[in-house]
Chains A and B, each alone.
Chain A
């Protein structure tokens, strides 16, 4: 019963990849303004920038969300992000940067190709989006959340280190 399901997932992914604008950009079939490239990732200017110089860093391979990305690709992505952020500070006269990832449409993910946004910031740019609100929380609610999340994290770490038998 599990095999057909696996096939369906692979088919769905292949479909998604074929219709993915970013895969087309990476394949050179659609124009983009590329500012960075290495073996595993590229960096391009966002066509809907929050600020001038807003860059998207994405893996050349298609992964719908960050959790599906292999560790080596993820590492490369974030190391590149740091370099690009430094370039913004040094060469675009940015005074700071926001690093932003959206996993899932509820979080604002617009395209099915996982990516990191790097947004150069200045004191006078008027961008309010990334100033987070601060809410009071009842101590008992905070306790409950802490326990739930900590327990899940512990369980996940145990699951992540399976013993190989072959």
Chain B
């Protein structure tokens, strides 16, 4: 599920953007090393394939059909880190060219679908890809990738103060489970056909057991954020209280327009706006400096 701009709390935006920037930078570095720069076209073209694949409909009966989302297929054919980079590129193009998901919300969408979704989906595959459970691993991986990213998106929305009534929440959960099962089945159908057609496509990626750790981390992250959202949807509010931006957060989280007008002391906007901009500039500067330093050390 692609979250558009405007729905997420600034703290969620900042947190998810930081997490996914780090994760994607590490994944890009790993992918580049794994592919030895010799297959630079591969990730882009497989990413384009995912777009094209969404035009092939799988009939479900009852006059409905569905299409592949592709995260698990990328993970199985490319490997963990390259799949994360490819999925990130797909999400960037969807946000910029197709207005599918927001640009500021890209941090959250990348974290949900490209980082946590793919890592969670890879968990069963990393454990069982060689044994007799291989087909089940792909099925379970497709399921986990969709459910983890969908659950994280819902939790981030709830934490941002987008109230969702219980009935709607339950029906979304059912929908999520169904589309997770479907993604597993679709991935399985494609992988089986691919094994008959071109087995070498499935041997490109080296599966390492140790990668399961990342999958466990992703599942824990998804579970944790869902637990926080369901136990304490107002946690950002109290956190904001402590950090000292209570007024602003309350104005964002709770509806009444009148409230923030009263609670905003004149003069405090400027300091907050300046502090926010300064913090942003500092974070960006630190990130660029770190990247430069890493690059220099690597080339030295």
Are chains A and B native binding partners rather than an unrelated pairing? Answer: no
Interfacial residues, chain B to chain A (CB-CB below 8 A): none
Interfacial residues, chain A to chain B (CB-CB below 8 A): none
